[in-house]
Homo-oligomer: A and B are copies of this chain.
């Protein structure tokens, strides 16, 4: 590995400067991405065609000195493979043609076989690893069981999560059966990505922050913890660093660290300094610049980088990132400024 900053930081080892990658670094803010996506026709075709997924995965690395690549894909590939028929339309967000609407729907769900049912993902991982040629590590990922369940039951994005929470409150057993199926599915999926070549694994718990503390522990953290255990139980995947990211989970970092993961993603509302005090040196921390900073002037981007680095403080175990995905309206030039600022400002003497 030519650039192993990310792996070292995730293992809380010394680095020459703080590594940075950006959630959704391959995305609509890049003109070359928009061009490739247009060529593909739609978002799902882009995900399902390994050569195109590889192309867009590499695009941001050609522009910026990023310290990692992340597989171009979507968290909803698993429910799609389960037969819920995903569609993703620009501006509208994801939608399932066949959402779960009964306990019977849940019982009928099978655990997808990663190679048979999601072969386009493992194949994309293999192609990307080959093309990366050891330059930077490749991150694989999946959605958390709770987050996948919200889309599967709501059928699309939601504000109040009334359907999934009604299931959770009123049919707790069916909810747990759904989560159990997802724990197995996500675990196999992550292990398969590791076997195909992913060198870091991340679980996106986008909607864990919509839960109360009690319900988060029971319905989001507990399933994620079982995923950590299942991945650890696979000999080949067991040594791969695992990052858990619950958006809106800043109050629960100590609990999430108890899962046994290697690193915690932090959104921008969390003080990394306070987070370190809470989790000690059990885990590395990833984050957490406010994505809106990328709309500011260069001098303000520099200042905001300083604040995040200072907040984390000295010592090892920091992976720089945004606190959430980069938004489509950002000027790519500002991403260059960000990446250079992080490396320059964090350079160890």
Contact = CB atoms under 8 A, between A and B. Distances in A.
A192 to B, nearest CB: 33
Interface string A158-173: 0011100110011000
A315 interface: no
Contact of A300 (B169, B210, B304, B311): B169
This protein's copies in its complex: 2
Nearest to A329: B162
A170 B300 CA distance: 7
- The majority secondary structure among interface residues of chain A is helix
Given A269-B209, A269-B212, A169 B307 contact: no
A271 interface: yes
A268 B165 CA distance: 13
Q: How large is the interface on A (under 10, 10 to 19, 20 to 34, 35 or more residues)?
A: 35 or more
B270 A213 contact: yes
Contacts of A3: none
A327 B161 CA distance: 11
A295 to B, nearest CB: 5
A269 B296 contact: no
B213 A295 contact: no
Contacts of A295: 162, 165-166, 169
30 contacts: A162-B327, A162-B329, A165-B293, A165-B296, A166-B295, A169-B295, A169-B296, A169-B297, A169-B300, A169-B304, A170-B296, A170-B297, A170-B300, A210-B269, A211-B269, A211-B290, A212-B288, A212-B323, A213-B269, A213-B270, A213-B311, A214-B271, A214-B307, A214-B311, A215-B290, A250-B251, A251-B251, A251-B270, A251-B271, A251-B274
Interface of A: 160-162, 165-166, 169-170, 209-216, 248, 250-251, 268-271, 274, 288, 290-293, 295-297, 300, 304, 307, 311, 323, 327, 329
